[in-house]
Amino acid sequence: MGGFELRERDGLARIGRLETPHGAIETPALLPVIHPDPTRQPVAPTELRRRFGLGAVITSAYITWRTPPLKEIAEEKGIHGLLQFDGPVMTDSGAFQQHAYGHVEVEPDRILAFQGRIGSDIATVLDIFVEPTATEAEARAGVELTTVRAKQARLDRTGLLAVPVQGGLFPELRFQSALEASTTGDILAVGGVVPLLEQYRFPDLARVLLAARPALAPEKVVHLFGTGHPASFAFAALFGVDLFDSSSYLKFARRGSLLFPEGTVPLERIREATCRCFLCEETPLTKLAGLPAEERERRLSEHNLLMCAQEISVVRQAIRDGALWELVERRAGNHPALQAGLRAAVRGTRVFLPAEPESRTSFRVVGSTSGLRPSVIRFLARLRSWRSGKGEFRPHPWVPLIPSTLRRTPTRTRAGEPIRWECFTALGPVPLELTELYPVGCYVGLDEFDDGPSARKNAFPPGDSLDLTGLDVEEGVDWGDPWTQRQVMSSMEWRYGPESVAAFVGAPLTAERSARSGRLRSISWDGSKAFIYGNDGVPRPTWFGALKLHPLLPFPASRIIVDPDAAPFVAAGKSLFSRFVRGGDSALVPGSSAFVVDPDDRLLAVGRLVLAPYEMGRITRGVAVRVTAHARAHGTEPEDPEELPEPPTFSP
């Protein structure tokens, strides 16, 4: 039971699946807060599922326990019977009431046992709600007591357990709390943040999530207590939050307010048909004000739920598209508080990097922090080390590597000294031969649309007026082939390291370029395709290319090592499941091409990483590497192993 399967991802954000006794929850998911008293709940849980696709809910075990008639029904018919709902039900423990009323009148073991008795699918430990105003000593005490209770709760419960992560605004305490929760909880529930959300303190929320994130076990589900405004879903998902819960839809409805991903709108201000959703088709927003209070509240609640459900879908689609950063930036454009939160997020680049994909299909500038996304920071950092020792660079006016311009751009002087050119791209100066790489190659910024003086479009001078001053260059040479060679070598070195280039020196290589864009498409070796370039400018080995490259790279570089039990399946082309991973190169990231090998470094397959190395073997369900080429299909028997060091295992 339990166990999280990651199916798709964009950085830390993931589309996954959590099994519960009452069915699976597809994450990211919003669990609407349901009042355990059906007469106080404007939209029944079955309606939530049927009309809005919200298939799981959260309710308060504490309110149920404290209200005798509700308690009686729950003890007799279970929480599902009380709510008249047969989907997954998570229950909360009462810590929120401690926040709201200053006290909670139940012992942790009693409320946990009660949650078990009423058949909660996910029971929550009675934590200490640590306020953002707490002193360090108070916060520490809150974390310690929460930890003690969580340890006891783990002993007492076999079902799914949500363990809150507290710590107030103290990063070390958030980290420690997350580490502790990861040992006891199935669901790691970041708590104590409701005041931050209510006060639009997104930078503080970002810092809380950044502090906790590295300590949150990747195989467990992350919940964020109190995120119910659709404006915050994308933002929270960016940090890998899988579950959201909130009663916002109802609270805002009571205040006469509408929730949209763009922000909150008071109903009384609405004079136009600004929404044409299926609910508004029935009753336009402009008509709601005239309805009786109870009816109006129900309709506002439904509308808010619909907007929440839709935004969850938008977030999920963005994860599939690799466009979550863009979505978050667009949402942040709606409110400076969210922009400030995003600015705090990009200051925590290091937290995002281990899960940051090798590339995405596009890079569009949509906000003021677009140029600070982790993919950019990582590229620029690597560029710095790439340049070192490579000599001086001269400015080159043209960004794309078009054959006609390359033919006129010399790669070396008459004396054989290499000439290094660099383009001034939107990300700053980049060596010409690296400009096809993600995120430079697919970067779409403002200049691409600006025909004014700042445009660099068609900036390559028509004649032979490239600035060659001070260079002794041979005249009338076609530099096309030397450029292809340099570009092939550079892209190989960029991705696979200097050892990979050694094999190419003097080898019978040819490279194809796209006729339309001039971009490199593939490298052939003696006429056989060895590497295929993706749109991200990264060469990826075919089986033939892998046979050439694999022996050159020092073990365990670019490798994922599989359990011998799984080796025959991988060699036959089956995807590599996470539970069969033994170790490998921890510098790989999702989307990287890797050699799948057995512990003796026999090459079994080539594949693309779905999981980050630190997640492999920990997220035990699902695929770790999707195989793209394999031994069996090509009739190649794995070679005899040489003496190898012990394969390293990934550290969490």
Least CB distance from residue 255 to Zn ion, whole Å?
18
Q: Pick between residue 231 and residue 576 the one whose CB is nearest to Zn ion.
A: 231
Helices 336-346/230-238 angle, 10° precision: 0
By CB under 6 A, tell whether 228 contacts ligand GUN: no
Least CB distance from residue 307 to Zn ion, whole Å?
8
Catalytic-residue membership of 92: yes
Q: How far is CA 46 from the centre of its chain?
A: 31
Look at phi and psi of residue 85 and say left if phi exceeds 0, alpha if psi is from -120 to 50, else beta. beta
Residue in this structure with the two tokens 């991973």, named with its chain if needed: 581
**Closest residue to bound ligand GUN by CB:** 191
**What amino acid occupies position 539?**
P
Q: Pick between residue 168 and residue 607 the one whose CB is nearest to ligand GUN.
A: 168
Residues 520, 523, 525: CA angle, nearest 5 degrees: 160
Q: Please count the residues of this chain forming the interface with Zn ion, following the rule CB under 5 A.
A: 3
225, 352, 438, 460: residue in contact with ligand GUN (rule CB under 6 A): 225
In whole angstroms, what is the distance from residue 281 CA to residue 163 CA? Answer: 42
Least CB distance from residue 43 to Zn ion, whole Å?
15
In whole angstroms, what is the distance from residue 299 CA to residue 254 CA? Answer: 11
In whole angstroms, what is the distance from residue 608 CA to residue 284 CA? Answer: 49
DSSP symbols for 635-650: TPPPPPP---PPPPPP
In whole angstroms, what is the distance from residue 496 CA to residue 547 CA? Answer: 14
Residues 150, 154, 155: CA angle, nearest 5 degrees: 120
Q: Pick between residue 134 and residue 258 the one whose CB is nearest to Zn ion.
A: 258
Question: For residue 91, what are its two tokens?
Answer: 């229950």
The residue annotated as part of the active site, out of 92, 121, 186, 585, is: 92
Backbone angles phi, psi at 305, to 5 degrees: -65, -40
User: Among residue numbers 175 through 204, which ones bind ligand GUN (CB under 6 A)?
Assistant: 191-192, 194
Q: Residue 280 binds which one of ligand GUN, Zn ion, none, with CB within 5 to 8 A depending on kind?
A: Zn ion
In whole angstroms, what is the distance from residue 540 CA to residue 523 CA? Answer: 10
In whole angstroms, what is the distance from residue 342 CA to residue 17 CA? Answer: 27
Q: Residue 275 binds which one of Zn ion, ligand GUN, none, with CB within 5 to 8 A depending on kind?
A: Zn ion
168, 185, 226, 590: residue in contact with ligand GUN (rule CB under 6 A): 226
The residue among 469, 492, 370, 380 whose CA lies nearest residue 429 is: 380
By CB under 6 A, tell whether 164 contacts ligand GUN: yes
Q: Residue 356 binds which one of ligand GUN, Zn ion, none, with CB within 5 to 8 A depending on kind?
A: none
Least CB distance from residue 402 to Zn ion, whole Å?
49
Q: Residue 85 binds which one of ligand GUN, Zn ion, none, with CB within 5 to 8 A depending on kind?
A: none
Least CB distance from residue 607 to ligand GUN, whole Å?
41
92, 326, 422, 436: residue in contact with ligand GUN (rule CB under 6 A): 92
Least CB distance from residue 62 to ligand GUN, whole Å?
9
Least CB distance from residue 223 to ligand GUN, whole Å?
9
Residues 119, 122, 124: CA angle, nearest 5 degrees: 105
**Beta strands at 23-27 and 13-20: parallel, antiparallel or unpaired:** antiparallel
**Beta strands at 420-425 and 393-396: parallel, antiparallel or unpaired:** parallel
User: Among residue numbers 273 through 302, which ones bind Zn ion (CB under 5 A)?
Assistant: 275, 277, 280
**Beta strands at 160-165 and 122-124: parallel, antiparallel or unpaired:** parallel
What does R_g of the chain's alpha carbons equal in angstroms? 28
Q: What is the DSSP letter of 549?
A: H
Q: Residue 93 binds which one of ligand GUN, Zn ion, none, with CB within 5 to 8 A depending on kind?
A: ligand GUN
**How far, in Å, are 261, 438, 593 from residue 333 at the CA level?**
11, 25, 35
Q: Residue 127 binds which one of ligand GUN, Zn ion, none, with CB within 5 to 8 A depending on kind?
A: ligand GUN
52, 85, 96, 363: residue in contact with ligand GUN (rule CB under 6 A): 96
Q: Residue 337 binds which one of Zn ion, ligand GUN, none, with CB within 5 to 8 A depending on kind?
A: none
Least CB distance from residue 161 to ligand GUN, whole Å?
12
Letters for 113-132 (x = contact with ligand GUN by CB under 6 A, - = none) are -----------x--x-x---
Judged by CB under 6 A, which stretch of 72-80, 93-101, 177-185, 520-528 contacts ligand GUN? 93-101
Q: Residue 329 binds which one of ligand GUN, Zn ion, none, with CB within 5 to 8 A depending on kind?
A: none
Residues 115, 121, 125: CA angle, nearest 5 degrees: 45
Count of CB atoms within 10 A of residue 533's CB?
A: 22
Q: Pick between residue 64 and residue 628 the one whose CB is nearest to ligand GUN.
A: 64
The residue among 609, 622, 613, 597 whose CA lies nearest residue 649 is: 613
Q: Residue 381 binds which one of Zn ion, ligand GUN, none, with CB within 5 to 8 A depending on kind?
A: none
Count of CB atoms within 10 A of residue 634's CB?
A: 12
By CB under 5 A, tell whether 13 contacts Zn ion: no
Q: Pick between residue 273 and residue 507 the one whose CB is nearest to Zn ion.
A: 273
The residue among 356, 466, 336, 469 whose CA lies nearest residue 408 is: 466
**Beta strands at 89-92 and 57-60: parallel, antiparallel or unpaired:** parallel
State whether residue 228 is helix, strand or coil: coil
Q: Please count the residues of this chain forming the interface with ligand GUN, following the rule CB under 6 A.
A: 13
Q: Residue 277 binds which one of Zn ion, ligand GUN, none, with CB within 5 to 8 A depending on kind?
A: Zn ion
In whole angstroms, what is the distance from residue 607 CA to residue 623 CA? Answer: 11
**What amino acid occupies position 56?**
A
Least CB distance from residue 230 to Zn ion, whole Å?
13
Letters for 238-277 (x = contact with Zn ion by CB under 5 A, - = none) are -------------------------------------x-x
Least CB distance from residue 225 to ligand GUN, whole Å?
3
State whether residue 159 is helix, strand or coil: coil
Q: Pick between residue 260 and residue 352 the one whose CB is nearest to Zn ion.
A: 260
Residues that bind Zn ion (CB under 5 A): 275, 277, 280
Residues carrying an active site annotation: 92
Residues that bind ligand GUN (CB under 6 A): 92-93, 95-96, 124, 127, 129, 164, 191-192, 194, 225-226
